[in-house]
Amino acid sequence: MCLFLIVIPATFLALGLLIKPILAQLKGDVISNFNSALIWYFAADLCLRVVIQRLPTMPVNSLLPLPFSRREIATSFILRSSINLFNLVPLLVVIPFVTQVVFQIHGVNASINYLLAVVGWILVNSHTAVLIQLLQKKRFIYIVIPGLLFLGLYLLELFNSRVTIMSQGIGFEMLQGNIFVILLPVLLLISILYRIYSLLLKELYVDLNTLHRPWWFALKIAGLDEFTFSGEIKRNLWLEVNLLLRNKRPRQVLSMAIYYLIYFVIILNDDSISQTFALCTFVVFISFLPGLYGQFLFSWESTFFDGIFSRPGALTSHVLAKYYLMCLMLIVSGLPFFVILSITHKIDPWLYLSMTAFTAGVTFFLILFVGTNNDGRIDLSRGHMLNSQGVKASQSIVAAIFIMLPIGLYMFFTHFVSALAGYLSVGIPGVISFALHRYLVERVVVPRFQRLKYTNLTGYRTMNI
């Protein structure tokens, strides 16, 4: 962690000191080249902050006997959240740029205007990320807002809109001291701080995911309300979803998956990448979200797995619930991006369907099978970044298998037979495995886990620091 805190600022500082010769090598004006990246940087910065930036939270119980008011606690929270590494590192690039380039060309006033505007947008990004993190503890759907913003900007640029030119224009107005451009981040910051402040005053404990009445009505219409109160598999599936949404580490893992999926969409729309690399990226893209969840398949409940084993006949339904949850993740993550990739004409629908069938059948079975070897305990309250709890070498092996196996089958049959044979070579095994998933779970996965249960339970009871 200390190395991380040293390397990142040092990298940005080196970039700041070399920013003038780097920009001089690009075509066009130096300042315009720098300004063209402003919108893209702040959009990517917001995505990264929501996933990685830590909230300065603490248990409120210890403060209750002390003479602290809620207003004092909320004010302290806001002040502490303003001091973090994400607010420092961009200044290590902006300040050298202002002193080396802006000051020499436009003078003192333009340099001050530009620096104040950048600092204002940095603070807006910082507290926007804090607000989203607080809100997503109650409604996880808020986590997609920064990713959708970045994806929207990318699609606008892709369809010949002028996001980059608009970024250059905003940077020019900042240099000219446009009062609207200077005051806009100030007004946004005040409104965001007021929202954070009011949220903390109303309920200091915000880590609670619940469903509003409209969501319950929608679930009932779709027939999914039964997941909450009928059937062993359905109850296990609903409990698994609540475990993922209410705890810090799985919530961060799911948050990262959303942004990686958006990143994969951008890669797949790049015409300069090779066909083989695009195919590898596409296979990873399909199985990424359920794969991230599946790498800790049984370790998510490692702190209370003794209770699961104490119930007779519960393990089969428990494993099936995990399998169905991975299938739901495949649908949730795959369908929207399938539409996006289809609109941009960057995807073969038959290849998508065949690879999806292979993932739902063969890949998920491999994840379940290899997951029986993972005896690593996970503390759900700790963050995911720089945390190796529950990570095993077998996860890397199965990741390589579910990437290379479908690609190898598809490319072999496509090259030596036909494209149709390539589709069928991955689609048919996937459909067969999916049709036999209950048999494979009952006869292969559960017996293997039963044979390894003492080793796994011993690992689950051991806390790794």
| 165 and 225 within one domain | no
Q: Answer with the one of 171, 202, 233 that is the final residue of a domain.
A: 202
Residue 1 belongs to some domain of the structure: no
Residue 370 belongs to some domain of the structure: yes
- Whether the CB-CB separation of 129 and 46 falls below 8 Å is answered with yes
382-419 confidence digits (pLDDT tens): 666 666 666 666 667 777 777 888 888 888 888 888 88
pLDDT at position 191:
92
169-192 confidence digits (pLDDT tens): 888 888 888 888 888 888 999 999
**Which carries the bigger pLDDT value, residue 215 or residue 456?**
456
In this structure, the number of other CB atoms found within 10 A of the CB of residue 333 comes to 20
Residue 53 belongs to some domain of the structure: yes
Please give the Cα distance from 422 to 416 (Å, whole number).
9
Which range scores top for mean pLDDT: 135-149, 292-306, 317-331?
317-331
pLDDT at position 432:
92
H helix or E strand, kind and range, residue 299: none
In this structure, the number of other CB atoms found within 10 A of the CB of residue 154 comes to 18
- Whether the CB-CB separation of 120 and 189 falls below 8 Å is answered with yes
Token code pair at residue 398: 């199965």
Please give the Cα distance from 381 to 378 (Å, whole number).
9
The CA-CA-CA angle for residues 153, 327, 400, to 5°, reads 80
Residue 253 belongs to some domain of the structure: yes
219-255 confidence digits (pLDDT tens): 555 455 544 445 677 777 777 887 777 777 787 777 7
Structural domains in the chain (count):
2
13-41 confidence digits (pLDDT tens): 787 788 878 877 777 788 888 888 888 88
Residue 465 belongs to some domain of the structure: no
Please give the Cα distance from 144 to 212 (Å, whole number).
19
Buried b (16+ CB within 10 A) or exposed e, 277-307: ebbebbbbbbbbbbbbbbbbbbbbbbbebee
In sequence order, the 6+-apart residues with CB closer than 8 A to the CB of 210 are 138
Token code pair at residue 253: 């893992």
Token code pair at residue 193: 């701080």
What letter would DSSP give residue 64?
T
348-368 confidence digits (pLDDT tens): 788 888 888 888 888 888 888
Residue 377 belongs to some domain of the structure: yes
Please give the Cα distance from 97 to 93 (Å, whole number).
6
Token code pair at residue 240: 């698994």
| 409 and 330 within one domain | yes
Q: Answer with the one of 149, 179, 202 that is the final residue of a domain.
A: 202
What letter would DSSP give residue 345?
T
| 397 and 350 within one domain | yes
Among residues 133, 144, 153, 209, the alpha carbon closest in space to that of 40 is found at 153
| 188 and 241 within one domain | no
In sequence order, the 6+-apart residues with CB closer than 8 A to the CB of 263 are none
| 174 and 136 within one domain | yes
3-class secondary-structure state, position 261: helix
Residue 369 belongs to some domain of the structure: yes
Please give the Cα distance from 454 to 406 (Å, whole number).
34
Q: Answer with the one of 202, 229, 257 that is the final residue of a domain.
A: 202
| 224 and 179 within one domain | no
| 127 and 53 within one domain | yes
| 445 and 382 within one domain | yes
Show the domain range for 156.
Answer: 8-58+66-202
Token code pair at residue 152: 């929207």
Q: pTM higher than 0.75, yes or no?
A: no
H helix or E strand, kind and range, residue 228: none
**CA dist list (Å): 120 to 209, 309, 459:** 32, 54, 49
| 227 and 193 within one domain | no
| 117 and 257 within one domain | no
| 384 and 246 within one domain | yes
Please give the Cα distance from 57 to 66 (Å, whole number).
17
| 288 and 163 within one domain | no
**Which carries the bigger pLDDT value, residue 438 or residue 298?**
438
Residue 445 belongs to some domain of the structure: yes
